[in-house]
Amino acid sequence: MSQALRSGDFDLTFGQGGHVETTLVTPGMMLLPDQKILIFSTLQDGVGMKVTRLLANGRPDPAFGENGVDVRLPHPFIGRMASFVPMRQSDNKIVVASTLTISSDISWGLVLRLHPDGRLDDTFGNAGVTVVDVPKGLGDSIRGAMMLPDDKIALVMECVIAPNNVIEVLVRLAADGTFDYTFGEGGFAYTIADGANFPRSSLLPDGKIVLAGSASYPDPVKLQAVVAQFLPDGQPDPSFGSEGYAYLDYQEAFPDFSFWQAAAFAVQPDGRIMLVGTCSDLPAGQFGDSLTWYTRLLPDGTSDASFNGGELVFSRAEGVEWFLGSMVVAGDGKVVAAGYTTGKSKAVLERLEPNGAADPTFGDGGVVIAELPSPDGIWVPSTLLAQADGKLLMLAHTFIYPTPMRLSRVLT
């Protein structure tokens, strides 16, 4: 007799045995209101992207084509599109922000708009595409993208001025893909503090922008986790933290770790900010001791005492070092983070109660560690989304040829 499935197990009704193996490369993913799944990935035989739509159960949507839609750009671009961030406008058109890498030194941000059937919308930008080239630099890449309540588009751009001079810039486009000249300098706001690195972004209902990541310091060399909040006009929000920045200084309490960063976050409906991050005794790219941590901030950027008394929660995955890929806060307030172990990477899922306690109903004591059936693969989750029924979609790299990506669904 088969064992009953439990919260944290893979949903056998999704795809084949809980998973969809795919040939897509560097994909982004979004859920539609009808719970169908859109996946955006690099086009292999031209400049553009492939758009695939799945039914809620992971099967290809026959109304969208068995092999999806190839979106080819009607411009003489060269290079490769990657790092797709999809958004939806109020008329159900899909906006996708991406980075076009032309060479090792030159890259641009690209923003495209698609009709619901996947066709490029040539009424957006320049024949369907807006090129975002920050005036101050050569190499520009998309760090984050958000759809504003009025269908305008906010972007977080990384701009390489020189090899050791990298800044981050806020950009705003009008709903039709033209630059919003009422924002900053011709649509560009140079208001992000020097030394800040914000790989994660989100939006408050009132249009304020929230960024999370780290701030670097040269002497002594260290990283400090930081969350920043900006007003809709791109200026730092003085009501948040210290002049718009909440610097989370944990090094005094944990002196063995000098490198702290917020790796993922979610803005809850009440404005509180749930954070998950990592700390290490060595910089990124070097293998040392590391821990995964959680905390929650109030809307003003101060610590939330209702989450573990305002103190950090460290991962309960005993004997395992792992790195964050993504996180979600479910409708019931529970927190789920997904990541991967060091070494021969396995997928890790951890669920916490709203107060920071481990959720004993999920996996083993709140933790799931899953290994691929193939001994050659590694399992590196990058995106975690919650469907309307609470089940979790986890998109991950496996690097197994010819299907290097895996989409899985987890029971909750």
pLDDT tens-digit map of 220-266: 778 999 999 999 999 999 999 999 999 999 988 999 999 999 999 99
pLDDT band for position 27 (cuts 50, 70, 90): confident
> Token match 């919260």: residue?
7
Average pLDDT value for the chain = 92
pLDDT band for position 372 (cuts 50, 70, 90): confident
Least confident of 35-39, 109-113, 152-156, 205-209: 205-209
Check if the beta carbon of residue 349 is closer than 8 Å to that of residue 8.
Answer: yes
pTM summary value: 0.93
Tokens, residue 303? 């610590």
Region for 159 from its dihedrals, namely left if φ exceeds 0, alpha if ψ lies in -120 to 50, beta otherwise: beta
Check if the beta carbon of residue 266 is closer than 8 Å to that of residue 328.
Answer: yes
pLDDT digits (tens, 9 = 90+) for 132-183: 999 877 789 999 999 999 999 999 999 998 878 889 999 999 999 999 999 9
Backbone CA torsion sign across 182, 183, 187, 190 = positive
pLDDT band for position 218 (cuts 50, 70, 90): confident
pLDDT band for position 287 (cuts 50, 70, 90): low
| pLDDT of res. 286 | 64
Alpha-carbon distance of 87 to 387, in angstroms, equals 16
Asked whether residue 221 is domain-assigned, the answer is yes
- Which amino acid is located at 75 in the chain? H
| pLDDT of res. 28 | 92
Alpha-carbon torsion, ordered 336, 340, 341, 346, to 10 deg: 100
Asked whether residue 335 is domain-assigned, the answer is yes
Check if the beta carbon of residue 341 is closer than 8 Å to that of residue 369.
Answer: yes
Q: What percent of the chain has pLDDT over 70?
A: 98
pLDDT band for position 377 (cuts 50, 70, 90): confident
Asked whether residue 373 is domain-assigned, the answer is yes
The residue range of the domain holding 208 is 19-27+132-410
Is the pLDDT reported for residue 285 higher than 50?
yes
| pLDDT of res. 304 | 98
Asked whether residue 77 is domain-assigned, the answer is no
Q: Mention every residue, 6+ apart, whose C-beta is less than 8 A from residue 363.
A: 6, 7, 8, 349, 351
Tokens, residue 360? 């004993």
Any long-range contacts for 240-247 (C-beta under 8 Å, 24+ apart)? 240/299, 240/300, 240/301, 241/300, 241/301, 241/302, 245/193, 245/301, 246/297, 246/301, 246/302, 247/215
**How many domains is the chain partitioned into structurally?**
1
Asked whether residue 44 is domain-assigned, the answer is no
| pLDDT of res. 1 | 41
Asked whether residue 45 is domain-assigned, the answer is no
- Which amino acid is located at 37 in the chain? I
Asked whether residue 176 is domain-assigned, the answer is yes
Check if the beta carbon of residue 182 is closer than 8 Å to that of residue 162.
Answer: no
| pLDDT of res. 284 | 65
Give the CATH number, domain containing residue 174: 2.120.10
Asked whether residue 353 is domain-assigned, the answer is yes
Q: Hey, which bits of 55-164 come out as E strands?
A: 69-72, 80-88, 94-101, 107-114, 129-132, 139-147, 153-162
Q: How many CA atoms lie within 13 A of 308 on its CB side?
A: 16
| pLDDT of res. 96 | 98
Check if the beta carbon of residue 10 is closer than 8 Å to that of residue 408.
Answer: yes
Least confident of 279-283, 297-301, 313-317: 279-283
DSSP 93-118: -EEEEEEEE-SSS-EEEEEEEE-TTS
* Higher pLDDT, residue 282 or 389: 389
